[in-house]
């Protein structure tokens, strides 16, 4: 009887990564679909789970950096890299401004959207990367 319960939980764990990977792929689709409205990705907050605080798409990706399954972790990093690439391209085109709180003058050059990656995301991303690099293989 205990063996059946153990077997069921192992199967559950074996398949849970597939659900998480599908969720990450859904986030990747949201990033791609919203690439012309970066406010939806960096500023707008959404409720991802009941009884949890709201978080942005970018924030949800940073939270998922702790993913334990290698396939899922690679997809998270790939999606966040894509989000950064889209954002940098938009900044190069003058569509958004990548800045800090000290220089948040949105009136210059007609830029309406200001994304403060350094103050809002850098420490979380660096911490997540340090944790990933600290994983012992073998």
Cα end-to-end distance, the chain, whole Å: 33
Which of 108 and 128 is assigned the larger pLDDT? 128
pLDDT at 25: 95
pLDDT at 109: 55
- pLDDT value at 7 more than 70: no
| Cα distances (angstroms) measured from residue 19 to each of 66, 103, 114 | 16, 41, 34
Q: How confident is the model at residue 4 (pLDDT cuts 50, 70, 90)?
A: low
pLDDT at 57: 94
- For the segment 7-19, the average pLDDT, to the nearest whole number, is 68
Task: Look at the pTM and tell me if it is higher than 0.85.
Answer: no
Which of 82 and 17 is assigned the larger pLDDT? 82
CA distance 93 to 46: 27
pLDDT at 138: 46
- For the segment 76-91, the average pLDDT, to the nearest whole number, is 94
Q: How confident is the model at residue 50 (pLDDT cuts 50, 70, 90)?
A: confident
Q: Residue 54 contacts by C-beta under 8 Å, 6 or more apart in sequence? A: 45, 46, 47, 48
118: nearest Cα among 47, 42, 53: 42
For residue range 55-78, what is the model confidence (pLDDT) as tens digits? 999 999 998 888 888 899 899 999
Q: Residue 77 contacts by C-beta under 8 Å, 6 or more apart in sequence? A: 65
Q: Residue 95 contacts by C-beta under 8 Å, 6 or more apart in sequence? A: 38, 111, 113
Percent of the chain topping pLDDT 90: 40
Residues in the chain: 138
């Amino acid at each position: 009887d205990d063996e059946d319960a153990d077997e069921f939980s192992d199967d559950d764990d074996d398949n849970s990564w597939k659900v998480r990977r599908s969720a990450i792929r859904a986030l990747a689709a949201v990033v791609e679909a919203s690439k012309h409205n970066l406010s939806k990705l960096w500023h707008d907050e959404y409720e991802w789970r009941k009884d949890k605080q709201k978080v942005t798409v970018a924030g949800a990706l940073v939270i998922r950096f702790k993913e334990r399954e290698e396939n899922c972790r690679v997809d998270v990093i790939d999606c966040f890299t894509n989000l950064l690439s889209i954002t940098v391209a938009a900044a190069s085109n003058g569509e958004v401004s990548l800045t800090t709180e000290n220089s948040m003058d949105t009136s210059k050059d007609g830029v309406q959207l200001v994304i403060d990656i350094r103050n809002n995301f850098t420490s979380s991303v660096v911490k997540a990367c340090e944790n990933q690099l600290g994983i012992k293989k073998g």
